[in-house]
Structure 1
Amino acid sequence: MVTLRPFVNRQTLENLAHRFPELDIASVETCLAFLSTTIDVYTALDVHFARYGLSMGKFTLLMQLFQADNKGLTPSQCAERAGVTRATVTGLLDGLERDGLVKRQPYPDDRRMLSVQLTQKGRQLLSQMLPDHFCRTTGLMAHLTEVEKKTLIELLAKVQAGTPAMLDP
C-alpha cells in the first residue's frame, strides 16, 4: 500500500474555506498532522520489524501467541483479537510457520479445528526482540511527559470516537 503524505498549507486551507464554508481549518490541520505522524510511525515500525524479519501483522500474531502461553489459539481467535479476517491471519500464519516461528496442530477437543502455538524458535525471537522493541517504543514517546502520554491516550480515544463521521453514508 502506498501512502501519500498530505501536502496542504494554511493558505491553501484558507482559500478552500472561502469556497467551502463547511471547512473548519483547525480540524483539517489537526487531521493532517495526525495523518502525517501516523505515516512516520508506521514507516518507523516497518523498519524496526524488518530487522527481525517480521511485519507488524506477524508481530501482532506472535505477541498474541506469546500471551496465550502454551495454550495456543485458534486462527479464528487470532483474527478476532487482531480485528482482521481469517484469510489475513491464514496468510500471516503461513509465513510464520514457514519461518519456523509457529506450529499448527489439531485442536485437542475437535480435530477439525487447529491450535496455533509458538515454537521454541518463535519464543527465542521474541525474547531477543522484546527488550529492543520496548526500548524503541519508550524512545518514540520520550518527548512526552507522563501527563502528556495520558492526555494523548485520551485525545486519541476522542479522535477514534469520531471515526463514524467518515464511515456513515
Structure 2
Amino acid sequence: METLRPFVEKEILENLAKQVPELDVTSVETCLAFLHTTAEVYTALNTHFARYGLSMGKFTLLMQLFHAPEQGLTPSECAERAKVTRATITGLLDGLERDDYIRRQPSLTDRRMLTIHLTEKGRLLLENMLPDHFCRTTKLMANLSYAEKLMLIELLAKVSAGAPAMS
C-alpha cells in the first residue's frame, strides 16, 4: 500500500494564512515535515520487516514474548502493552501461530485463560533478525549526534502531548 506524502509549498501556506488567521505557517510546515518523515520511516520499516515475513505488529508481539516471563503473556496483556485492541492482537496471534512462531496454551492458574509463548522457531527468527534490525536502526539515526537524539526524544514527547488537540 502506497502512503500519500503530505507536502504543501510555503507560498501556498502563506497565501492561505491571509485567509485563515489561525494558520501558523511554521506549525503547519513542522507538522508536514514530521508526517513526511513518519511516512518514510514506516515505509522503510515495512520493507525491512517484510524481509523476514513479518509486519510491524507481528514483530512487536514477538519482541514482547522474547522478553516475557516464563509463564508467558495473556492476549489481554499483549494488547495492553501494544496499546491496541484485543481483536487486533487475536489477528496477529493467529498469523504468528500459523507460521509456528508462537503457541497458545491453557494457563496453569486459570484454565479459562490462554497464555502465549514464543516457539523455538520464533526465538531463532528473532535471534537471527535482531543484529540486522538494530544495525539498521542505528543507521537510521546515524545522522544525529547523541545530544540530538536525546533532544529528538524530548521534542517528540512534546509533539505527542499536543496530539489530543487534533482529536
TM-score bracket for the superposition, by shorter chain length: over 0.9
Deviations 1:54-92 (A, max 9, x none): 000000000000010432100000000000000000000
| Distance in 1 separating the partners of 2:79 and 2:104 | 15
Deviations 1:126-151 (A, max 9, x none): 00000000000000000000000000
Identity %: 72
How many residue pairs get aligned? The number is 167
Partner residue in 2 for 1:21: 21
Superposition pairs for residues 112-127 of structure 1, below 5 Å? 112-127=112-127
Q: CA RMSD in A?
A: 0.9
| Distance in 2 separating the partners of 1:7 and 1:28 | 10
| Distance in 1 separating the partners of 2:134 and 2:2 | 27
Superposition pairs for residues 33-112 of structure 1, below 5 Å? 33-112=33-112
Unaligned runs of 5+ residues in structure 2 are: none
SS in 1 for 2:81: helix
| Distance in 1 separating the partners of 2:165 and 2:51 | 37
Partner residue in 1 for 2:162: 162
SS in 2 for 1:110: coil
Q: TM-score, normalised by structure 1?
A: 0.97
Q: TM-score, normalised by structure 2?
A: 0.98
| Distance in 1 separating the partners of 2:71 and 2:141 | 33
Report how far residue 22 of structure 1 moved: 0.4
Q: Quick one: which amino acid aligns to residue 87 of structure 1?
A: A
| Distance in 2 separating the partners of 1:141 and 1:88 | 30
Report how far residue 164 of structure 1 moved: 1.0
| Distance in 1 separating the partners of 2:131 and 2:70 | 21
